[in-house]
Structure 1
């Protein structure tokens, strides 16, 4: 009987505790703070002051790995405010993953979510994004259909997944959002590491003189 050589599987999970920075984006009054506090503290805020900007830290377990999440609860999105738009771009560049929130009871917030997805696609291409339709419990006031949210998530240039949530109904839904973002970031990091190793192997292999000459002639302009 021939010996069977075991192949070591490459895991997309980190071997030690990791840190993930998540920014929660969206128009004012869509429930960004309510979702954030529900996730961090497990309680629902029915009333709160408009958020300027708050950062929360929480440790969670994902795939039996310890993860420290830094969650940035941002101020309401205003596309007309140039100074705030520049600040928003800086926030996007500084974070690893994004929760873009709109309210199913507010059509304008849905349009703002589209603009925010475009911003993330420009500033952090390939970063994991969750498009979150909040206030799903308020069916009698719904003006944005679930199918519209799913279509927006599918058509955006971001690596985007669609969720429906209600901050008033507990933390399980927002827990699923954060779990997905962490796993998506790990998968992206694993792909980048693998691509880097492939490039390193190609650059490090021996090259014959004729092959080197062909490469140089291909890239260096010819002069008369």
Structure 2
């Protein structure tokens, strides 16, 4: 075994059971609803034992041959180019198990997603595209300008470009500006919960 590699198979792990090749079961003591959210975190992703052992070999980390740079997974895309300071490229995974595009959305069959045409691909196999390219832009304004020129497929709306892209009605509703609509741009909005932690140093006078 590689020096320094921790072979977890040597240790008993009560509460964890391997059901089959693609399934394992975790038993908790007591109720802990947050555990479902923990399972969605990256550090809960299953990693093959042989991959863990492979990357633990001497000299691998010095050559950037680590799971951070060469991640493993079973998703629809593979990371084929990894240069965080410039760009990252994902290519279609030929071994992907395949998922179908959902047929239900917000509000049911007659809801907002259906009216917006977001369910038009109902039942079609995913992914739809062969390659995804992420390019790093150090500043927001050049990124927005390139988006308007067609170099990028999607963009957020920063405070610098808010007045150009968005208009507010008297009721406070957000809509796309006429200039953006004329360019064929669509505005997709969503509501997501956030948690903020505030710390106070009660010992500081």
**Shorter-chain TM-score: which interval?**
under 0.3
- Alignment TM-score, normalising by the size of structure 1: 0.23
CA radius of gyration, larger in: 2
- Alignment TM-score, normalising by the size of structure 2: 0.25
Select the structure with the greater relative contact order (CA < 8 A; seq sep ≥ 6). Answer: 1
**Structure with the largest fraction of helix:** 1
